[in-house]
Structure 1
């Protein structure tokens, strides 16, 4: 929301906003852009002079400011709808979604397009080290948007990606998550099925065939969508086959084979086989759009990722790495990646269960196995 407020201000709108607290780096970002902020919620923050109110999904019906918006009959909207109008608009829209990896992968796609001179518009749900901001309007013909399956607001209980047009689509993974809004895996599968069904005959979707749920759903997706599908992963059935990865000189070397374009190697500064697959997805989509493969390789080599994802916080006698992984599968893969990158080192894992799903008992058994690669586990208290 802060990034959107800045973008609207740059377009010439007068923007105000309220929240319980404003933390860094967003507090400074808003202040520098001269966005007027109210700390704390009050009906007095809502003026009859407002032309539009954008309501975030952190507030619920009966909220004091929402009640005032309704009393004054001020038009209101939601973040993903405004994002679609401003960032996607009439551009070629690449939507990146999935249970895991969508922030890293959308940031990767936006960065590579920028490096290739395409000047994309983009929104990434995190802070990319190589991008000056998480949301930007470019002059090029492409847009990249991270498509979140979480709901949009209390009055729009649909995924954010419901509002995004998928001209190109990447689905990295599909597992059960967000237990506070989805009762089961079938309900998550249903919203992804709706997403792919909106592709037209010119659309293309890259999906990770190594994900068991995706592999199961591909046949029905193909039947119910006009768009085309290509697969990537370590499976020999994939269109882009990840053959081998190795850590050398601080870089992950990736070797792959494409059924259409043959084999090649490239490097990324990110560890973990899952990031090799994320890079393959971006490569497959962008070369399919006509970008030169070797130039994509060169850009991928310079993408160091997103803050709080494999972020090196200290490197001395002890190496400290921060990662946002919270789902059991993501925890397991992250631990495996760190073990591969730092062979022979003891690994201590400090885990804080902060997400709505990780606080519940749903994955109690899975968490017991997710930390198998760690020599010591420190579990923080659940508030």
Structure 2
């Protein structure tokens, strides 16, 4: 079957394209925002991500068009599909009908940490010999792809996103997945472009809860009031809690170089190199979800010791003259704060410089603007970048920051300023949910030009 996927470079749709290709379909695609790592991942698997939308991409007509949720009425390919009566569906619906209905699905939901926690869970299952299928919104460090089909009847780990499904289906994606195990990691307001308030998101999370069978399992964070309200709407599935609250079955105890999971009075230490309390919580959640399908805490702890985070999650892109350039996907105030707090705790004496591009749909609307200044308190210096289409001026946030902050609308000028003001031992963390004009590699080039006698590790 020939499947065409408009919006193919989105993390979900790109991963779906890899699955369709693995299942034997011919896959083509198109997108207006083509950038790594998804574009290079698709090309590596023989899928052309296309450049721009064009009705000619539908000549001759494909057997099926799987339409991404980033596409709306008015898009030339959407209009051509409707005008020509070409069969179409949404990504989540295609995924369930062609793959998930034949798998034991473990769904990881929450405002933050979905990608990392799903990657942890998939890796635990992998290390225990289950060879799970998975679809993760990033490229996990322990795997070479963001998605694979797995075997019929086997486990499938999916990052369960609350964003809407398609222009013709405004339900959250995760209501299509039919999980045996659902992990609810946290919940706060986000996606202001489609949700009016937190209550609207809670309603969608309860729709997910309604789909989990009575012989399945819900793993729920113990210290999240919004998730308590979700369960209060009704629950028909056994629930296990994880976190630091007294009623949690899975307790977290932080330790230097990792954490300890405490279950039924037993202690299971995990040693790793990840920074931040949020990653410890993600690890605990993954252990609890793995236990729900029979993986012992000891085995899960061993697997996590070899876990490598997904790309763009505190990913070190390079080091020049002792200056580190780190890439991170954080784009919500809570995620920004947690990331910076983790990096600060990891190396308290290092100068920490945050470079932030507020480019998500929620950020463009300004819904989180008031919370942004406080989110950077753990940094020593902040640069706010003004992307095209932002509905407000980043200077407004820079003025209110508790640490020295500047605003810039020119990526070249920003790179020049960073190269000039940084020195050995500094850590530059660049935060964006987009390509950010390839600023990471361009900054590394600028640093190499500034310090031509230095090697990548900073030694002459």
Fold match by TM threshold 0.5: yes
Correspondence 1:287 to 2:291: yes
CA deviation after TM superposition for structure 1 residue 212, in Å = 3.4
Cα 1:285–1:33 shift into 2, 3 Å:
closer
**1:244 matched to which residue of 2?**
254
Map 1:29-48 onto structure 2 (within 5 A).
Answer: 29-35=41-47, 38-47=50-59
Question: Residue 209 and residue 59 in structure 1: after superposition, are their counterparts in 2 closer, same or farther (change >3 A)?
Answer: same
Q: 1:45 to 1:181 in 2, by over 3 A?
A: same
Distance 2:272 2:305 in 1: 5
Deviations 1:217-238 (A, max 9, x none): 44x05xx121011111122221
Structure 2 counterpart of 1:180, from 193, 215, 235:
193
User: 1:364 matched to which residue of 2?
Assistant: 369
Q: Output aligned runs, 1:75-90, within 5 Å.
A: 75-90=87-102
User: What is the CA–CA distance in structure 1 between the aligned matches of 2:351 and 2:98, rounded to whole Å?
Assistant: 47
Alignment-derived partner of residue 136 in structure 2 = 124
Mapped pair 1:330 → 2:335: yes
Per the alignment, do residues 49 and 216 of structure 1 end up closer, same or farther by CA in structure 2, a change over 3 Å counting?
closer
Cα distance in 2 between the residues matched to 1:42 and 1:370: 41
Question: Which whole-Å CA distance do the structure 1 matches of 2:43 and 2:363 have between them?
Answer: 34
Calculate the aligned-residue CA RMSD, in Å: 1.9
Task: Please state how far the C-alpha of 1:361 moved relative to its aligned partner.
Answer: 3.0
In structure 2, distance between residues paired with 1:328 and 1:342? 21
SS at match of 1:39: coil
Match of 2:243 among 228, 233, 236: 233
Report matched runs for 1:27-176 at 5 Å: 27-35=39-47, 38-47=50-59, 49-139=61-151, 141-176=154-189
- Contact conserved, 1:95 with 1:166, CA < 8 A, in 2? yes
Offset of 1:29 from its aligned partner? 3.8
How many Å apart are 1:346 and its aligned residue? 2.3
Call closer, same or farther: CA 1:118–1:95 in 2, change over 3 Å.
same
- Where structure 2 has 5 or more consecutive residues not aligned to the other structure, the ranges are 1-12, 389-460
Provide the rounded CA distance (Å) in 1 between the counterparts of 2:295 and 2:73: 46
Distance 1:212 1:153 in 2: 29
Aligned residue in 2 for 1:249: none
1:301 maps to: 305
**Aligned equivalents of 2:384, 2:51: Cα separation in 1:** 33
**What TM-score does the superposition give when structure 2 sets the normalisation length?**
0.77
Does the CA contact (< 8 Å) of 2:105 and 2:155 recur in 1? yes
SS of 1:89 mapped into structure 2? helix
Q: CA 1:70–1:94 in 2, change beyond 3 Å: closer, same or farther? A: same
Which one of the candidate residues 204, 207, 227 is aligned to 1:191? 204
- Paired positions, count: 374
SS in 1 for 2:142: coil
- Give the C-alpha shift of residue 40 in structure 1: 2.6
Deviations 1:24-65 (A, max 9, x none): 444444444443554332222213542211111122113222
The Cα of 1:10 is off from its aligned counterpart by 3.4
Q: In structure 1, how many angstroms separate the alpha carbons of the residues matched to 2:383 and 2:62?
A: 49
SS of corresponding position for 1:15: strand
Give the superposition deviation at 1:72: 2.1
Q: Is contact 1:200-1:225 (8 Å) kept? A: no
Name the structure 1 match of 2:394.
none
- Equivalent-residue separation in structure 2 for 1:85 and 1:35 (angstroms): 22
1:13 corresponds to which residue? 25
Determine if contact 1:87/1:136 at 8 Å carries over to the other structure.
Answer: no
Whether contact under 8 Å (1:101, 1:278) holds in the other structure is: yes
The one-character-per-residue Cα deviations of 1:280-325 (angstroms, maximum 9, x if unpaired) are: 1111121232112222111111111111111122345223322111
From 328, 331, 349, the counterpart of 2:354: 349
Matched, 1:264 2:276: no
TM-score, length of structure 1 as denominator length:
0.92
In the alignment, what sits opposite 2:383?
378
Task: Give the Cα separation in 2 of the matches to 1:375 and 1:156.
Answer: 44
1:253 to 255, 258, 261: 258
TM superposition shift of 1:115:
1.2
Q: Distance in 2 between matches of 1:31 and 1:370?
A: 37
